[in-house]
Structure 1
């Protein structure tokens, strides 16, 4: 019995040995020594300078790992970090340090109402200011962007990849025009014809506040956004994408729904520049995604050091509806990049 308890106590000192060498001890991973954010649970409100004034954005650190620090860029735009809360079920056990972050205009950050702030380049500059404030660098900095966050991650890499150790583009195509073609040619025909016609009438009238607009989109969301009945959607998803969504950011940039995109993003396309992103990059796509999985596979082949993770049971929120495969693939990528240092 003594030998068993001794062996168990030694085993509990270490997280799973996923990464190359010297995985953090359990005590080290949860240590708050010399961390100025410890007194408020890892939360920091980071000052951000913009062309129209200075504001603050919300971040929260989880864990400690000097080699593997992942900054999470949420979707939307104008949604929140909250759907990422499921990462708590997978990353701490593997010793990954990660950062939740609400972009400017999102629920936990300042929400200035100024359309001049709704520009991709300004958001990229914001991410760089956050990186600097958090002390992330090329020896430890991984950037993971989901959906709109994937656009932001690609743009950041094109401008600042010298600071990156690795990049993850989760469920996002490199071209909004191509995404809109996929939505028009593949996704819209799957809707009931009468519902689609009514949606188009409401769209033409810009009657997006009409409850009927969202009601008609429910079958699409349950098939391609998160493959569960909405009544069963995880509470963090409902908080981040419904309750706390800032439509003053979302609609002008993305458009009124996830069935295609318009607004500021309508003409965005970086496909021809993917070859410029030379850091190790994982592209994640899913069979039932709102984004074309074949296009995302193509992206991985154009990236000089790209890999593709295809999720056969997943949709746009694949870290929920195909989460075991999602996190196994993500952690494998982090392990590979860490081992190649």
Structure 2
């Protein structure tokens, strides 16, 4: 979660018409379902290809947030909450390779302050409770309800998803918490006691020197983390091979939102960041809706705590990504997507 701000800087461094149609081999019923899934006919977002700018009421006025629908399914609709805070929907473009063929409708969404949405210059808006109300307004505008609404949140989006569910779980059909633990103090402890010591001693010593001096923009500090930390715990792909969607998303991050809520450090939530003491461990047992918790072996978040979430809620399932890190939708797709899709379809079948 905390490791995403640095990527802005690191990225800067760094068939013919004559062939018979395959449709002839598909049953008419499946052809109809496929055509319905991709059809925009009769939809109010047809002219924009699924994009809607949704007005959001806030204590500081009305602003617009960007959403984009992919597919049509009246029973399975997934709203994607990106991380950061201040990241963009672009880090989920890998979903295009997996959800459509399963008939799952999903919504890209840039939260207020993020690149494709309005970016008001008011730090008081970067508040978790306000973001919860923003999600509720987006839900209503998109027509999502307890019969079809799955909320997916990863990293900071996982915090937002938990907070939303604790207030509005009656509006949900299913909840997915991906790569996020229920306590920032616990995340800090895991980072300091487990992950940091895995670094080469001389590297850790240099990083901590800059941490202690609060010299977070130092080029050597940033370079050490990009070289030694990110490829192990954020996305287990060499930086020069990162997908274009990742590069675009990270380059579009809004630092004002990020630093206000997460702080400037790459080694934990520090200073007066608003998420510094966030913790909902004692409340998760209130959740009764079907809940999937996704953890990864090499994540910045302790996978054991992700498994604990699944056991703490009243109707939980755990998905482990043995080859993944913080962005498992890219570095462990063989486990991430089959498990996620299986959960969504099972909840739908059981409802």
Q: Which bracket does the TM-score occupy, shorter chain normalised?
A: over 0.9
- Aligned ranges 1:306-317 → 2 under 5 Å: 306-317=316-327
Partner residue of 1:10 out of 23, 26, 33: 26
Contact kept in structure 1, 2:211 and 2:265, CA below 8 Å: no
- Aligned ranges 1:1-341 → 2 under 5 Å: 8-11=24-27, 14=30, 25-218=33-226, 219-241=228-250, 243-262=251-270, 263-341=273-351
Which 5+ residue runs of structure 2 have no aligned equivalent?
Answer: 1-19
Q: Classify the secondary structure of the residue corresponding to 1:38.
A: coil
Q: Following the alignment from structure 1 to structure 2, what is the Cα–Cα distance between the partners of residues 29 and 187?
A: 44
Contact kept in structure 1, 2:150 and 2:173, CA below 8 Å: yes
Q: Following the alignment from structure 1 to structure 2, what is the Cα–Cα distance between the partners of residues 197 and 222?
A: 19
Deviation for aligned residue 1:195: 2.3
Q: Following the alignment from structure 2 to structure 1, what is the Cα–Cα distance between the partners of residues 333 and 265?
A: 24
Q: Following the alignment from structure 2 to structure 1, what is the Cα–Cα distance between the partners of residues 109 and 57?
A: 16
Contact kept in structure 2, 1:142 and 1:166, CA below 8 Å: yes
Task: Describe the shift of the 1:33–1:298 C-alpha distance in structure 2 as closer, same or farther (beyond 3 A).
Answer: same
- The structure whose RCO (Cα within 8 Å, separation 6+) is larger is 2
Q: Classify the secondary structure of the residue corresponding to 1:288.
A: coil
Bigger Cα displacement from structure 2, 302-311 vs 24-33? 24-33
Q: Following the alignment from structure 2 to structure 1, what is the Cα–Cα distance between the partners of residues 247 and 22?
A: 44
Map Cα deviations across residues 241-284 of structure 1 (whole Å, 9 max, x no partner).
2x111111111211235532231111000011111111000000
Q: Classify the secondary structure of the residue corresponding to 1:41.
A: coil
Map Cα deviations across residues 104-159 of structure 1 (whole Å, 9 max, x no partner).
11111111121111110001010001001111000000000000000000000000
Q: Following the alignment from structure 1 to structure 2, what is the Cα–Cα distance between the partners of residues 258 and 8?
A: 54
Q: Classify the secondary structure of the residue corresponding to 1:25.
A: helix
TM-score w.r.t. length of structure 2 = 0.90
Residue in 1 that maps onto 2:15: none
Q: Following the alignment from structure 1 to structure 2, what is the Cα–Cα distance between the partners of residues 284 and 170?
A: 5
Deviation for aligned residue 1:332: 0.4
Contact kept in structure 2, 1:12 and 1:26, CA below 8 Å: no
TM-score w.r.t. length of structure 1 = 0.93
- The number of aligned residues is 329
Deviation for aligned residue 1:13: 5.6
Q: Following the alignment from structure 1 to structure 2, what is the Cα–Cα distance between the partners of residues 100 and 167?
A: 16
Contact kept in structure 2, 1:259 and 1:290, CA below 8 Å: no
Deviation for aligned residue 1:12: 7.7
Q: Which aligned runs of 4 or more in structure 1 are off by greater than 4 angstroms?
A: 4-8
Q: Following the alignment from structure 1 to structure 2, what is the Cα–Cα distance between the partners of residues 282 and 240?
A: 25
Bigger Cα displacement from structure 2, 170-179 vs 258-267? 258-267
Contact kept in structure 1, 2:261 and 2:275, CA below 8 Å: yes
Task: Describe the shift of the 1:155–1:200 C-alpha distance in structure 2 as closer, same or farther (beyond 3 A).
Answer: same
Task: Describe the shift of the 1:137–1:211 C-alpha distance in structure 2 as closer, same or farther (beyond 3 A).
Answer: same
Task: Describe the shift of the 1:25–1:203 C-alpha distance in structure 2 as closer, same or farther (beyond 3 A).
Answer: same
Q: Following the alignment from structure 1 to structure 2, what is the Cα–Cα distance between the partners of residues 290 and 11?
A: 46
Q: Following the alignment from structure 1 to structure 2, what is the Cα–Cα distance between the partners of residues 87 and 6?
A: 24
Deviation for aligned residue 1:9: 3.3
State the superposition RMSD in angstroms. Answer: 1.7
Q: Classify the secondary structure of the residue corresponding to 2:253.
A: coil
Q: Following the alignment from structure 2 to structure 1, what is the Cα–Cα distance between the partners of residues 22 and 212?
A: 70
Which 5+ residue runs of structure 1 have no aligned equivalent?
Answer: 16-23
